[in-house]
Amino acid sequence: MNTILLYVVLLSSSGSDASLDQRVLELSRQLRCLVCQNESLADSQADLAVDLRREIRGQMIHGKSDDEIKTFLTARYGDFVLYRPPFKPETYVLWFAPALLVCGGFFALMRIIRTQPHSHCRRGL
Amino acid sequence: MPDVATIGNFSLITALIVAILQAALPLMGASQGKSTWMSAAVRLARCQFILVVIAFLSLAYCFAANDFSVLNVAQNSNSELPLNYRLAATWGSHEGSILLWILMLAFWSAAVSIFTRHLAKEVVARVLGVMGIVSVGFLIFMLVTSNPFTRLIPAPADGNDLNALLQDPGMVVHPPMLYMGYVGFSVAFAFAVAALLGNRLDASWARWSRPWTLIAWTFLTCGIALGSYWSYYVQGWGGWWFWDPVENASFMPWLAGTALIHSLVVTEKRGAFKAWTVLLAIAAFSLSLLGTFLVRSGVLISVHAFATDPKRGIVILCFLTLIIGGSLVLYAWRARQIRSGASFDAISRESLLLSNNVLLTAAAGSVLLGTVYPLIIDALNLGKLSVGPPYFNSVFVAIMSPAMFLMGIGPIAKWRKAEIPELVIRLRWALAISILAGIFIPFAVKWKPLVTLGLTLSFWIVATICFDLVSKLKSAQTKGIVQRLRTLPRNYYGMQLAHFGVAISIVGITLVTGYESQKDLLMRVGESTGVGGYVFQFQDLSGVEGPNYDAVRAGVDVFQNGKQILRMQPEVRSYHASGNELKNAAIAGGIFRDLYVTLGEPLEEGTAWTFRIQHKPFVGWIWAGAVFMALGGALACSDRRYKPAASSAARKAA
Amino acid sequence: MKFAVPILIFVTLVIFLGFGLRRDPRLLPSPLIDRPAPAFQLMRLDEPNRPFSPTELRGTVWLLNTWASWCVSCRQEHPLLLALARSGVVPVYGLNYKDKRTDALEWLKSMGNPYILNVQDADGRVGMDYGVYGVPETYLIDKTGVIRFKQIGPLTLESIEKTILPLVRNLNS
């Protein structure tokens, strides 16, 4: 336990990179706290969240990219830990639906406009 | 003398009986032409309202009087809890909030019974009958699964206390506002279903639905904004929207309601798209009901955890299926008989308003899909996944940006047919200003593409509002500014004010998301750190006693340019009865920025504490915008043509 | 008929919601099922200078149970673990998760010790590799070191009788 505290103190009071902090923050905002009722890893105060943030920070210092860290976490906890659903067959519907809804809606609107009975001259005719 | 809880319980049972009559008699009367049965609707609705008020006041009394023999009071209150929170605890639990739902529904029914005297008897009968059906459903649900008057024998000496997060002024206002809105959409719903039942979908249906929808929308806007603001200052992490299922549950009806308001304009003015408007009216309230199901059934994980229970979920789901399913079946059956109104061109105010509808509906649909998607994937045994802010933010911004662009064009376009060249000429300055502002302003801090997008859209909206207002005033027939301002109807001002509010909110959202900064760190007394151009120094630590809690309070001095400007005092509170611990953030709000300091945990035997310090530029504009939106809505529904005197004159003329 | 579209969408939604009611959204299935159990080397609880690694258990079907003295639900499943240990059907090994050695030993003394041996995961790093997100969690590992089953939360009589024991019999044959 004491080694952890030392670690925290060292990391936070050392001249550690402000941009590293920012990077950890931005990545952990996209990840889910597994034990909470819907909070991000950045905001949660749960033990596991603190541990995972520390792990993320450590991996970033070792030069891992955001994607590599996400792979590390999903290998252990599954896709549930990602707040941005990965783009895979199971989520095609999720990712394509918004665009389809918009296009479909405009298509339907245009069709209805075109097939209206006109009681006056149309534009150009 | 029976005790108050028993009175409350009895009132609820009686209210159920009255609601059953309110549902059955008027609807049967309307279909069979029985005048007395139809007239009964008004009296029954008011009677139900009085009974529900009695029940509600009884529960509130039990809380105020610390009657711990009532289970709900024992679970959610405590004798040390201050009176205002004891009263707010009336709706602080699942059971209490259902009672609040029923109270709001009864209130709206009573309001409809009073303000529709000029409408035909069958219409009023059907509208109140439909609202009666919904009341019956909720009352049965409440009495069977969630009765707030259930007893706890033997009564404990004291209660568990209200959840620490709810002991707050926000709790007093947010749920009532939200429910007024949520439940208020039941009126538009009832009007739509009544119109389908009676096969009467004329222009007056749209005309009378609109003010009811506007009022409900206004309340819902306030409720959502309050919820966001409340969560901002209570949760302690400085977030204001998380796309949490409960937040989405209130946002989806709002999106549908906004679409409905715009669609009603087209239907009322031009008699067009009646079937679609009816469907939207059904959808808005259905989303309210769906939201009620989602947050109480336990199917989704949410920060806003009501005590969830799958058994209750089944009951709500059945009830939901009957009401929504029933109205959609009715729609499928009767909608094809609706005669459509005047036609319009591909570019016209009608088409622009309907484009707004397409986008808002797509947005609501996407939010719904994202919210229930984890459930669908799980039900299909495809695993567990999460859909969170990254998804919702991307999708929502992508869909709403075009809508914001259209917001500038719509009010200017002509009905039936608008010419593009004319529009371009009228809007070219607004476009130029917006693009230039959007591109160059971010350079003041740091250029970011999304900030440009947000600023361009908000400047566009404001610029188009100004240009339109000026051009309308210029072309007014009278002389003098004040006289000219008077010629424009309140409807118009309401619209522009609401749109203006949207622009303000977008500025807030854009700037805070683009430029906020945050630091999580450990500080010992005397140490300081810089965030967002300010210096924060941890000065001291003290102990504080509250009415029902003990707290550790940190004194943090804030310096700007070397001078001290503020003293902020974040706390960590421990509540006696529940043992809950709550971080009370210190917020220094301002027009151009909020400073947000949260006290975390003690380390090193209490000589050092963790802090989270945030600088949030323009965050207040998000809620200020919502206030303008709500004022706009209120202004629009106070338009003269909705006043009874004007309407009876109109009826005589018609 | 386009007017029937809304009711059809609604019915589909209700069906899914109905199914959703029978599910627990908080249960996270492990992505490690049918994958090799992550390797580790930790010090034993009883002999703090002696390491243990799961490779030593190749050729055996065994249970790895994560627990801690501060964990309330662990007490719930403890009698079942003791019964399992006594029956000798499958050996139970313990991963003492984020705990103090003295507290853990004290707890075992007072509650009984079903474990063949325990390892100390003081910082939770090994737990993280196994995807532990709460205690207790129990893993069933086969002769080749592959995880075949994970119990999230305390063991229940039902999960032992219906899932674990049949699997053990299967894997042992």
For C18-73, write each residue's pLDDT tens digit: 988 888 877 888 999 999 999 999 999 988 899 999 999 999 999 999 999 999 99
B110-128 pLDDT, tens digit each: 999 999 888 888 899 999 9
Q: What is the CA radius of gyration of chain A?
A: 24
Cα–Cα distance between B458 and B483 in angstroms, integer?
29
C32 touches chain A (CB under 8 A): yes
Q: Virtual CA dihedral for A50, A56, A58, A64, nearest 10 degrees?
A: 180
Give percent of chain C above pLDDT 70.
100
Q: Is residue C141, in this structure, part of any structural domain at all? A: yes
- Is the pLDDT confidence value at B481 over 60? yes
Inter-chain contacts counted by CB atoms under 8 A, chains A and B: 132
- Is the pLDDT confidence value at B226 over 60? yes
Helix (H, G, I), strand (E, B) or coil at A35: coil
Instruction: Provide the pLDDT for residue B545.
Output: 92
Judged on CB neighbours under 10 Å (0-12, 13-18, 19+), B371 is buried
* Contact call for A9 and B377, based on CB within 8 A: no
Q: Is residue B557, in this structure, part of any structural domain at all? A: yes
Instruction: Provide the pLDDT for residue B535.
Output: 94
Q: Is residue B251, in this structure, part of any structural domain at all? A: no
Contacts A77 to C, Cβ<8 Å: 28, 31, 131, 133
A50 touches chain B (CB under 8 A): no
Find which of C13, C24, C26, C152 to mutate to test the B interface (most B CBs within 10 Å of its CB): C13
* Contact call for C21 and B298, based on CB within 8 A: yes
Q: Is residue A99, in this structure, part of any structural domain at all? A: no
Say which of B286, B375, B384 has its CB closest to residue C29.
Answer: B384
Q: Is residue C3, in this structure, part of any structural domain at all? A: no
Helix (H, G, I), strand (E, B) or coil at B28: helix
Mean pLDDT of all residues in C7-19: 93
- The band of B548, judged by pLDDT with boundaries at 50, 70 and 90, is confident
* Contact call for C17 and B372, based on CB within 8 A: yes
Task: Kindly report the average pLDDT of chain A as a whole number.
Answer: 83
Contacts A47 to C, Cβ<8 Å: 98
Instruction: Provide the pLDDT for residue A121.
Output: 46
Find which of B303, B321, B387 to mutate to test the C interface (most C CBs within 10 Å of its CB): B321
Q: Is residue B89, in this structure, part of any structural domain at all? A: yes
Give the gap in angstroms from C-alpha C131 to the nearest C-alpha of chain B.
14
A68 touches chain B (CB under 8 A): no
B376 touches chain C (CB under 8 A): yes
Q: Is residue A122, in this structure, part of any structural domain at all? A: no
ipTM of predicted assembly, 2 dp: 0.89
Q: Is residue C150, in this structure, part of any structural domain at all? A: yes
- Is the pLDDT confidence value at A6 over 60? no
Say which of B286, B299, B324 has its CB closest to residue C21.
Answer: B299
For residue A31, give Cα distances in angstroms to A52, A70, B390, C70.
10, 9, 10, 27
Give the gap in angstroms from C-alpha B362 to the nearest C-alpha of chain A.
5
C130-149 pLDDT, tens digit each: 999 999 999 999 999 999 99
Q: Is residue C48, in this structure, part of any structural domain at all? A: yes
Q: What domain count does chain B have?
A: 2
B180-213 pLDDT, tens digit each: 998 999 999 999 999 999 887 777 788 889 999 9
* Contact call for A79 and B417, based on CB within 8 A: no
Give percent of chain B above pLDDT 90.
63
- Is the pLDDT confidence value at A9 over 50? no
* Contact call for A34 and C28, based on CB within 8 A: yes
CA angle, corner B268, sides to B267 and B273, nearest 5? Answer: 5
Q: Is residue B604, in this structure, part of any structural domain at all? A: yes
Mean pLDDT of all residues in A79-83: 94
> B residues 203-222 near C, CB within 8 Å?
none
* Contact call for C11 and B314, based on CB within 8 A: no
B375 touches chain C (CB under 8 A): yes
- Is the pLDDT confidence value at A16 over 70? no
Say which of B332, B372, B384 has its CB closest to residue C3.
Answer: B332
**Closest among B269, B295, B296, B263 to B282, alpha carbons compared:** B263
- Domain encompassing residue B163: 1-167
Neighbours of chain C (3+ CB pairs under 8 A): A, B
Instruction: Provide the pLDDT for residue A5.
Output: 47
The residue among A14 and B392 whose pLDDT is bigger is: B392
Cα–Cα distance between C9 and C20 in angstroms, integer?
17
- The band of B640, judged by pLDDT with boundaries at 50, 70 and 90, is low
Contacts A9 to B, Cβ<8 Å: 522, 603-604, 608
Q: Mention every residue, 6+ apart, whose C-beta is less than 8 A from residue B599.
A: B552, B553, B554, B570, B571, B572, B583, B584, B609, B610, B611
- The band of B639, judged by pLDDT with boundaries at 50, 70 and 90, is confident
Instruction: Provide the pLDDT for residue A15.
Output: 44
Q: Is residue B1, in this structure, part of any structural domain at all? A: yes
Please give the full DSSP string across B493-546, using - where no structure is assigned. HHHHHHHHHHHHHHHHHHHHHHH-EEEEEEEETT-EEEETTEEEEEEEEEEEE-
Contacts A122 to B, Cβ<8 Å: 345
Say which of B365, B383, B384 has its CB closest to residue A101.
Answer: B365
- Please name the residue of chain C whose CA is at the shortest distance from the CA of residue A48: C133
Q: What domain count does chain C have?
A: 1
Say which of B395, B522, B601 has its CB closest to residue A98.
Answer: B395
- Please name the residue of chain B whose CA is at the shortest distance from the CA of residue C4: B332
Residue B220 CB neighbours (<10 A): 29
Helix (H, G, I), strand (E, B) or coil at C67: strand
Mean pLDDT of all residues in B427-436: 93
Contacts C130 to A, Cβ<8 Å: 76
Find which of B301, B358, B525 to mutate to test the A interface (most A CBs within 10 Å of its CB): B358
- The band of A14, judged by pLDDT with boundaries at 50, 70 and 90, is very low
Give the gap in angstroms from C-alpha A98 to the nearest C-alpha of chain B.
6
The residue among B19 and B238 whose pLDDT is bigger is: B19
- Is the pLDDT confidence value at B63 over 50? yes
Instruction: Provide the pLDDT for residue C54.
Output: 93
Cα–Cα distance between B297 and B317 in angstroms, integer?
9
Say which of B299, B320, B329 has its CB closest to residue C7.
Answer: B329
Give percent of chain A above pLDDT 70.
80
Question: Poorest-confidence range of A12-21, A85-94, B306-315?
Answer: A12-21
What is the CATH classification number for the domain harbouring C157?
3.40.30.10
* Contact call for B331 and C3, based on CB within 8 A: yes
Q: Is residue C42, in this structure, part of any structural domain at all? A: yes
B243-252 pLDDT, tens digit each: 999 999 999 9
- The band of B166, judged by pLDDT with boundaries at 50, 70 and 90, is confident
Q: Are the C-beta atoms of residues B157 and B27 closer than 8 Å to each other?
A: no
Contacts C10 to B, Cβ<8 Å: 286, 324-325, 328
Instruction: Provide the pLDDT for residue B1.
Output: 55
Find which of A109, A110, A120 to mutate to test the B interface (most B CBs within 10 Å of its CB): A109
A76 touches chain B (CB under 8 A): no
Q: Is residue B366, in this structure, part of any structural domain at all? A: no
Instruction: Provide the pLDDT for residue B605.
Output: 79
Contacts A75 to C, Cβ<8 Å: 31
Q: Is residue C15, in this structure, part of any structural domain at all? A: no
Output phi, psi for A46, to 5 deg.
-65, 155
Mean pLDDT of all residues in C3-15: 93
Helix/strand number for chain C, H first, E second = 6, 7
Q: Is residue C156, in this structure, part of any structural domain at all? A: yes
Say which of B354, B377, B608 has its CB closest to residue A90.
Answer: B377
Instruction: Provide the pLDDT for residue A122.
Output: 46
C98 touches chain A (CB under 8 A): yes
- Is the pLDDT confidence value at B296 over 70? yes
Instruction: Provide the pLDDT for residue B646.
Output: 47
What is the CATH classification number for the domain harbouring A69?
1.10.8.640
**Closest among B130, B65, B507 to B285, alpha carbons compared:** B130
Q: Are the C-beta atoms of residues B182 and B288 closer than 8 Å to each other?
A: yes
* Domain closes at, from B167, B183, B214: B167
Q: What domain count does chain A have?
A: 1
* Contact call for B361 and A105, based on CB within 8 A: yes
CA angle, corner B19, sides to B16 and B25, nearest 5? Answer: 140
Q: Are the C-beta atoms of residues B496 and B465 closer than 8 Å to each other?
A: yes
B573-587 pLDDT, tens digit each: 998 887 888 888 999
Indicate the length of chain C as a whole number. Answer: 173
Instruction: Provide the pLDDT for residue B13.
Output: 96
- Strand (E) positions, B50-172? none
The residue among B45 and B295 whose pLDDT is bigger is: B45
Contacts B603 to A, Cβ<8 Å: 5, 8-9
Give the gap in angstroms from C-alpha C136 to the nearest C-alpha of chain B.
20
Task: Kindly report the average pLDDT of chain B as a whole number.
Answer: 90
* Contact call for A35 and C133, based on CB within 8 A: yes
Give the gap in angstroms from C-alpha C160 to the nearest C-alpha of chain B.
23
In this structure, what token pair is assigned to residue B42?
Answer: 């008004």
- Domain encompassing residue C112: 32-172
- Start-to-end CA distance of chain B, whole Å, equals 57
Q: Is residue B138, in this structure, part of any structural domain at all? A: yes
Instruction: Provide the pLDDT for residue B199.
Output: 85
* Contact call for B390 and A109, based on CB within 8 A: no
Q: Is residue C22, in this structure, part of any structural domain at all? A: no
Contacts C29 to B, Cβ<8 Å: 383-384
